[in-house]
């Protein structure tokens, strides 16, 4: 370690893009040039690369990919658990001018094979001995990958235009076949810079801990931390463990992490059980599913003002709205509960509006479909013009989420449009009911869905993890919400079905009701 870029031959590969733009991986080159001896990649407590050797390894991977015939715009997949090698492979792909196709490590190999086939990926980096038809698998623990990182000549990332694709993200596919979201270099730059403006400061002394999958939002957050020359920590477990994260936070200090709401809840439980108050934990950004007020109130009461919420989609990655640290922690504002139940205000690089059924802008307070436009919005879905045309209208992304904007610009999510329950001609948003049911100490988790009813169209059914009685839950609902919103049935389950990103699969719950 202690590598200095100036001591090695350094070449820039040039192309003729239609529009000039910076390859997002150039930020690694700049951080390495500024101070190549800064610690960069960690496996647990152990540093495995400084910024100089991180850059050198990515350069070597890029040259090897080119020698294998991988050219600009070609897709290269990563099917791995979180590890320092993941980030080396990712930046090697970007240096080569290729497109990264991160695949969630929890997916079944058959699901991964679909993504490989649909994307046309020519190479796949893996952390297990597995092969796929039509793609070369490179095991990152093998001598082959070690040799890829060695190169006599350092090269800079291939120049790319802002509109060139950098990352092909496949949606979780809770309602059907996953679609490939085309994420460009310009989108990633806008997202990362908006993060520093609207979400959190990033400093060289910070450490990003990757407990959520690098194939998803956590991985997108590597870019602003590389730009700042911060540390990147992959837990030795390769995933989320509350006690491990608390230990890492205390050891590294000034820690940032991205977490799904369920992870925040589990981290709070682990901290309470161990007596920890999160020493060293600076910021937890949460997103990816509904955060119930009861859970975030408990987290703030225990850890203090360390939480920021963002709202985004793969189609506009991590960059639609943000609820600030101050708003999440505030208990003095007369409307603090409503604000806490929101996902914040529009980030600097986007416009957000609510559309009624006719596509017109809805007044403040009215519920409709959330629309967003701006530099982080995707150009479309990979090889799917029909889906692209449906999602993008006159420059606006139709998110499929239902929500409302108040007069101060705070956006409150209600539900996916497909999840709204229409009973007796009235709309019921499941989250509203779920928030009330979670007020009961005997409810650990809940998910509300609609079931066909011959008279009312649909009736409300709540799937409950916990031991609260029907009578207690009915009484709670009647105390807090209109009678027609009260569930007509409660179904006890041991766990709620979730996809690999922790989102509840309401399609499976509805299927259970139809059996």
- Express each pLDDT in 179-198 by its tens digit: 999 999 999 999 999 999 99
Answer for the pair 493, 463: CB distance below 8 angstroms, yes or no: yes
pLDDT surpasses 90 at 437: yes
User: What burial class does residue 164 get, using C-beta atoms within 10 Å of its C-beta: 0-12 exposed, 13-18 middle, 19+ buried?
Assistant: buried
pLDDT surpasses 50 at 18: no
What does the mean pLDDT of the chain come to?
Answer: 91
Tokens linked to 284: 């937890």
What backbone phi and psi angles, to 5 degrees, belong to 491? Answer: -115, 120
The residue ranges of every structural domain in the chain are 1-38+51-184, 420-514
The verdict on domain 1-38+51-184 having CATH code 3.30.590.10 is: no
Cα 372 from chain centroid?
Answer: 17
* pTM of the model as a whole: 0.83
What is the spatial distance between Cα 443 and Cα 69, in angstroms, rounded to a whole number?
Answer: 55
Query: Confidence band (pLDDT; 50, 70, 90) for 116?
Result: very high
Share of the chain above pLDDT 70, in %: 94
- Mean pLDDT along residues 332-359: 95
- Mean pLDDT along residues 112-137: 95
pLDDT surpasses 70 at 397: yes
3-class SS letters over 213-277: CCCCHHHHCHHHHHHHCCEEEECCCCCCCHHHHHHHHHHHCCEEEEECHHHHHHHHHHHHHHCCC
* Coil/strand/helix, residue 26: helix
Within 8 A by CB and 6+ apart from 143, the residues are none
Answer for the pair 290, 263: CB distance below 8 angstroms, yes or no: no
Q: What is the pLDDT of residue 17?
A: 41
Q: What is the pLDDT of residue 176?
A: 54
What is the spatial distance between Cα 165 and Cα 437, in angstroms, rounded to a whole number?
Answer: 43
pLDDT surpasses 70 at 173: no
Tokens linked to 340: 């806490």
- Mean pLDDT along residues 206-214: 95
Q: What is the pLDDT of residue 21?
A: 63
Q: What is the pLDDT of residue 10?
A: 45
- Mean pLDDT along residues 313-332: 97
Q: What is the pLDDT of residue 501?
A: 62
- Mean pLDDT along residues 317-340: 97
Query: CA-CA distances (angstroms) from residue 490 to 90, 134, 311, 424, 461?
Result: 46, 48, 30, 19, 6
- Mean pLDDT along residues 305-330: 97
- Mean pLDDT along residues 413-428: 77
Q: What is the pLDDT of residue 500?
A: 64
Which top CATH class is 420-514?
A: alpha beta
Query: Confidence band (pLDDT; 50, 70, 90) for 267?
Result: very high
pLDDT surpasses 50 at 420: yes
pLDDT surpasses 60 at 289: yes
Closest CA to 181 of 387, 371, 325, 32: 387
């Amino acid at each position: 370690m202690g590598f200095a870029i100036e001591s090695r031959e350094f070449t820039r590969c040039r192309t003729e893009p239609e529009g000039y733009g910076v390859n997002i991986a150039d930020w690694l080159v700049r951080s390495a040039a500024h101070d190549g001896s800064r610690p960069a990649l960690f496996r647990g407590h152990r540093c495995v690369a400084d910024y100089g050797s991180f850059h050198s390894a990515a350069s070597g991977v890029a040259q090897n990919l080119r020698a294998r015939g991988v050219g600009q715009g070609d897709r290269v997949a990563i099917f791995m658990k979180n590890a320092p090698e993941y980030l080396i492979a990712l930046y090697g792909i970007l240096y080569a001018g290729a497109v990264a196709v991160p695949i969630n490590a929890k997916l079944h190999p058959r699901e991964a094979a679909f993504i490989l086939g649909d994307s046309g990926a020519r190479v796949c980096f893996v952390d297990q001995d597995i092969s796929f038809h039509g793609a070369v698998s490179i095991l990152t623990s093998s001598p082959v990958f070690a040799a890829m990182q060695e190169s006599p000549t350092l090269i800079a990332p291939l120049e790319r235009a802002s509109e060139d694709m950098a990352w092909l993200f496949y949606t979780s596919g809770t309602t059907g076949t996953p679609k490939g979201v085309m994420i460009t270099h310009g989108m990633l730059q806008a997202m990362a810079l908006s993060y520093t403006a609207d979400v959190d400061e990033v400093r060289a002394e910070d450490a990003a801990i990757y407990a959520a999958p690098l194939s998803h939002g956590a991985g997108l957050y590597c870019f602003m931390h590389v730009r700042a020359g911060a540390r990147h920590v992959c837990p030795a477990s390769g995933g989320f463990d509350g006690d491990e994260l608390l230990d890492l936070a205390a050891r590294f200090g000034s820690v940032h992490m991205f977490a799904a709401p369920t992870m925040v809840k589990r981290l709070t439980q682990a901290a309470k059980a161990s007596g920890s108050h999160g020493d060293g934990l600076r910021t937890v950004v949460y997103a990816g599913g509904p955060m119930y007020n009861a859970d975030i109130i408990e987290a703030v009461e225990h850890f203090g003002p360390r939480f920021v919420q963002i709202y985004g989609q793969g189609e506009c990655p991590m960059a639609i709205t943000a609820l600030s640290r101050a708003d999440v922690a505030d208990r003095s504002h007369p409307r603090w509960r409503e604000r806490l139940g929101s996902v914040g205000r529009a980030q600097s690089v986007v416009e957000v509006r609510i559309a009624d059924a006719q596509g017109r802008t809805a007044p403040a307070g009215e519920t409709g479909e959330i629309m967003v436009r701006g530099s982080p919005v995707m150009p479309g879905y990979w090889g799917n013009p029909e889906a692209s045309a449906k999602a993008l209208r006159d420059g606006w992304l139709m998110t499929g989420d239902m929500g409302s904007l108040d007069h101060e610009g705070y956006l409150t999510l209600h539900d996916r449009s497909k999840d709204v329950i229409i009973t007796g001609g009235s709309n019921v948003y499941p989250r509203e009911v779920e928030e009330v049911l979670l007020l009961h100490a005997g409810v650990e988790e809940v998910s509300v869905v609609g079931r066909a009813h011959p008279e009312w169209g649909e009736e409300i059914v709540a799937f409950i993890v916990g031991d609260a009685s029907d009578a207690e839950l009915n009484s709670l609902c009647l105390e807090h919400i209109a009678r027609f919103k009260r569930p007509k049935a409660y179904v006890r389950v041991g766990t709620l079905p979730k996809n690999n990103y922790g989102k509840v699969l309401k399609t499976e719950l509805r299927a259970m009701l139809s059996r």
